[in-house]
């Protein structure tokens, strides 16, 4: 059905993007009335896809690209750190089609986590919904915007800023 690994990588990225879009639309349309988005199982499809891509992208040179060096050189004549990633190795690693797809699914999962965090924090206002969409697209920047602008919620759903203080 998918043919070459590069075709599978393309389809997996399309599937991850579609899942994020459907989750975002459903979360924004259904809002807090439905509790389905509070479950950790919303991450399961992306996590499963990521696991498949990670296994498919792994080959004998992967570890040496991520962690170049050797233990023998690292301990000869004192401690010389060997296993620090180099940008050239990371660049070569992600130049592979299937590995780049696994990176995109990984980032999609992180963006979904950020968006869900903002939504659960009280992101059902207009600004909160915008921050949720920003999280899906820009990840950490949307999370930062939401954390800085959405007041924390108490257990009863009211904003902590609006709650009366006891004397």
pLDDT in tens, 122-147: 767 788 888 888 988 888 898 899 88
Tell me the per-residue pLDDT of 43-79, one tens digit each, with 9 for 90 and over: 889 999 999 998 988 888 887 787 777 766 666 666 6
119 lies in some domain: yes
Higher-confidence position of 59 and 34: 59
166 lies in some domain: no
Quote the number of domains for the chain: 1
Domain boundaries, position 10: 5-160
Under 8 Å between Cβ of 114 and 135: yes
167 lies in some domain: no
The average pLDDT across 94-112 equals 90
Q: What are phi and psi of 34, to 5 degrees?
A: -105, 135
pTM (global) more than 0.85? no
Q: Enumerate residues 6+ apart whose C-beta is below 8 A from 19.
A: 45, 46, 108
């Amino acid at each position: 059905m998918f043919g070459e690994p590069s075709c599978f990588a393309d389809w997996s990225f399309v599937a991850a993007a579609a899942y994020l879009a459907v989750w975002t639309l459903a979360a924004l349309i259904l809002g807090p009335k439905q509790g389905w988005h509070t479950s950790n199982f919303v991450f399961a499809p992306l996590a499963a896809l990521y696991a498949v891509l990670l296994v498919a992208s792994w080959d004998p040179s992967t570890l040496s690209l991520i962690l170049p060096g050797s233990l023998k050189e690292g301990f000869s004549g004192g401690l010389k750190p060997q296993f620090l990633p180099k940008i050239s190795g990371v660049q070569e690693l992600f130049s592979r089609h299937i590995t780049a797809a696994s990176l995109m699914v990984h980032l999609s999962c992180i963006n979904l986590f950020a968006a869900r965090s903002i939504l659960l924090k009280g992101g059902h206002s207009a600004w909160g919904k915008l921050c949720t969409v920003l999280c899906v697209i820009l990840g950490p920047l949307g999370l930062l915007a939401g954390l800085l602008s959405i007041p924390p919620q108490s257990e009863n759903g009211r904003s902590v800023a609006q709650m009366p203080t006891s004397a």
